[in-house]
């Protein structure tokens, strides 16, 4: 009788470990989805103006933080650059944020930035440490002289 109890216990434990060990879900290895919803590719912005972005994030594991970078496609000494890191205070899986960026008119004392193609780069991280990157091409130029 003791032998049957041992076999029954062994069978029960083996079955339990089999069910616990089987997980049909794939582990999450994908970072958050990111999209700028209000700016088409290659939209033109003006130095001295404001770049307004609606950025949509989605991740079932929640977004921890994101970083916005704006830089000239072909770097020069007089390139405009912007960087901002934002940490998300509350657990959020699907949300849109508004981000305004003031584009300065000049570097300093009438020294102008170089016009041209720029990139908006957004990097987002979820709670599992997965990272994703989104790129949006834009142009930044000076207003036409009147």
Looking at residue 93, its pLDDT comes to 95
Residues present in the chain in total: 146
pLDDT in tens, 67-99: 999 999 999 899 999 999 999 999 999 999 999
Looking at the DSSP assignment, which residues form a beta bridge with residue 118? 72, 138
Q: pLDDT averaged over the chain? A: 87
What is the Cα–Cα distance from 15 to 10, expressed in whole angstroms? 9
- Say how many domains are in the chain: 1
DSSP 9-56: HHHHHHHHHHHHH---SPPP----EEEESS--TTEEEETTSEEEEEEE
Pairing, β 43-46 against β 131-141: parallel
* pLDDT-derived band at 20, boundaries 50, 70, 90: very low
The yes-or-no verdict on residue 45 having pLDDT over 50 is yes
CATH value at residue 120:
2.60.40.10
Single pTM value for the model? 0.80
The reply to whether 23 falls in a domain is no
Domain extent at residue 120: 33-141
């Amino acid at each position: 009788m003791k032998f049957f109890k041992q076999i029954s216990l062994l069978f029960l434990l083996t079955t339990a470990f089999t069910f616990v060990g089987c997980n049909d879900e794939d582990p999450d290895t994908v970072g958050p989805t990111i999209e700028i919803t209000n700016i088409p590719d290659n939209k033109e912005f003006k130095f001295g103006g404001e770049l307004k972005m609606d950025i949509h994030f989605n991740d079932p594991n929640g977004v921890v933080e994101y970083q916005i970078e704006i830089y000239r496609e072909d770097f020069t000494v007089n390139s405009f650059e912007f960087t901002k890191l934002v940490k998300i205070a509350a657990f959020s899986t699907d949300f849109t944020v508004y981000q305004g960026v003031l584009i300065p008119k000049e570097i300093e004392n009438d020294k102008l930035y170089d016009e041209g193609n720029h990139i908006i780069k957004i990097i987002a991280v979820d709670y599992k440490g997965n990272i994703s990157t989104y790129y949006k091409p834009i142009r930044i130029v000076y207003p036409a002289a009147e």
